[in-house]
A and B are shown apart, each in its own frame.
Chain A
Amino acid sequence: MDWHPPATLDLAVSARETLTMASFAAIRGKEEALREAIRAGYGAELPYHAARVAGVGITFVWAGPNQWLAVAERENGRDLEAELKEQLAGIASVVDQSDGRVVVRISGPRARDVLAKGVPIDLHPRAFKPGDVAITHASHIGIILWQTDDAPTYEAALFRSYADSFAHWLFESAAEYASTR
């Protein structure tokens, strides 16, 4: 991916390229066992609504009914697919997503204005807060969106092949706020 975001005063865009991700889903009847395994293994309460929770060295993003995306830094060769397959054996189906999706971070006072040009959901602080998740689209490109802080900072996980088109839309939408320095 080539990232050449326009120089703006109020917006920072970057790609998080060092993540390991895996999606997982409970096997029927093992929902409670799954919750317990996540509690025991990572100290996190698995969200059953559109939310993102942090565990020890990992975050869990709700990705649909009975579907989660686990996200962690890929340091020391960490591979969440392998790790979760072991942790959740017999409890959940696990699929590697480390490469299927790229995560783009969009941060700064203009982030809401820029996202409003393609994301059709309400990102006002009263409607969407750090910890909230939305599966939606940005300019016709499917994303899982979450907010990480009140800067505000958002992260959008999108399928890798769309990265160039996404960047093109994002940077064109941000051009209005480009710095004239």
Chain B
Amino acid sequence: MRIACPHCGERSLDEFLYSGDATVRRPDFASPTAMDEFIAYTFERTNPAGPHRELWYHAAGCHAWLVVTRNVATHAISSVEPARDVALAGKPETKDGA
């Protein structure tokens, strides 16, 4: 598989590390229901057979964290964005297929 890093261009899979689900956002530690929210955030995942938003780290490249939208059934990648931009856009992502 090849991922088009927005900073470095298209690179082979072996430069990247997959590191989790980009559809969940870290809850507020001070929330009264923080424990439940953190458990869901850390452990509970859907397993969609189709498009999914994932976090990848360009470990052997520019060290950018990336949000990769990928169809996990076909490996077709439809977008790659810097995670920082996605996070700063501040729109909490909805859970695909939830």
Contacts and interface: CB of A to CB of B under 8 A. Distances in A.
Given A120-B12, A120-B14, A136 B82 contact: no
Contact of B60 (A50, A63, A65, A142): A142
Interface residues of A, number: 13
Interface in B7-41: 7-9, 11-12, 14-15
A134 B7 CA distance: 10
Contacts of B92: none
Given A50-B7, A65-B62, 16 more contacts: A50-B8, A50-B9, A64-B7, A64-B62, A65-B7, A65-B64, A65-B84, A67-B62, A120-B11, A120-B14, A120-B15, A121-B11, A136-B11, A136-B15, A137-B15, A137-B60
B11 A64 contact: no
Contacts of B14: 120
A12 interface: no
Contacts, number: 33
A50 B64 CA distance: 13
Given A134-B8, A135-B62, A137-B60, A65 B82 contact: yes
